Structure 1
């Protein structure tokens, strides 16, 4: 795509974006529900879900039944919460932290004021964004992620609001899975389609 290169990863297909939106807005969806809501064949939905599970963005559980019968498989977004955590996402975050720490030692980078856990969250976030076709620039002082030019700028205008919401949700999940004080707050309003800045924030300790 023009502006920023091709979109990759979980948001490379708009059908997959629609499925992600559905599981982000309500957990424990069935194949039948997702198929009916998207108009996609059940086998197509199943293939998209498998890709999303392998990427660490969706988790599957078995239905708890109180009556006889085979339990259905339920699908939810991997949000990093204790009951919605993906082992794939946790391992990706840990691997990103190891690579980031190694690079900082090699470059003898000065310690960040944000602290180790926050920096490792940013390691995971940067890798997720790069895998998705973005070229992120992190401002640790202002807690922003600059994603201009956005690879989604060439998408249909009516698709972009959903793309932004879904990808913000994915970013929130990546940061939560990595564990630390940083959360993704919002996508800032932009004057031009190719502009994209995500605002982060520090979550006060409970």
Structure 2
């Protein structure tokens, strides 16, 4: 059985999980998709300097995008923050560069080990390259089944955490995975975290939005 790796990356602390959860929720809103430092501080109870530090790490990782507020009145414009979901207007250049680099490394590995080639198409394969690197950076040891379209993350390194925090953690984790897949570009999407009786078990189901699977071009 695999040992759970250290918790690192964008969900390495509960505070970052909180911030990402708030930004993902704002992105689903009908009016605003961005939040200010003040709003994030009020919602989490964190000091402004702590929020800024976490946001800077998330920006550097390609998970959050800062923009400058457009003001029509006098006053210093504020910095607004949104989750990098890969959607139009919410695409991170850092995330795009990471996806391209993952694809290059994936191509190199497949040239050295032809047996590692996927039956999925080129775009979907590159999406999986980006997803696997993201998960490994976050302390997981992903096992991808490109036939069943699942990603096994057992044992979950967050299993020992509070059960009350798990729903939000899973939701944030799923949102991050979806953002990585969208930034990479292709037919695959992260659909859900499958229910499991054992908190150490974690399997994410993917979906192919084209309904097609084919060999590498």
- Corresponding position: 1:135 with 2:141: yes
- Corresponding position: 1:90 with 2:129: no
Q: 2:57 aligns with which of 51, 56, 61?
A: 51
What's the counterpart of residue 14 of structure 1? 14
Q: How many residue pairs end up in the alignment?
A: 204
CA shift for structure 1 position 6 = 1.4
Mapped to 1, the partners of 2:13 and 2:122 lie a distance apart of 34
Unaligned runs of 5+ in 1: none
Runs of 4+ aligned residues of structure 1 deviating over 6 Å after TM superposition are none
Provide Cα deviations, 1:36-84, integer angstroms capped at 9, x if missing partner: 1000000100000000000000000111112122111000000001200
What is the 5 A alignment of 1:38-187? 38-109=44-115, 111-187=117-193
For residue 154 of structure 1, give the secondary structure of its aligned residue in structure 2.
coil
CA shift for structure 1 position 156 = 1.0
TM-score, length-normalised on structure 2?
0.91
What CA RMSD, in Å, does the superposition of the two structures yield over aligned residues?
A: 1.4
TM-score, length-normalised on structure 1?
0.96
Q: 1:200 aligns with which of 193, 203, 206?
A: 206
Greater shift in the superposed pair: 105-114 or 187-196: 105-114
CA shift for structure 1 position 185 = 0.2
The 8 Å contact of residues 5 and 141 in structure 2, kept in 1 or not, is answered as: no
Unaligned runs of 5+ in 2: 27-32, 212-217
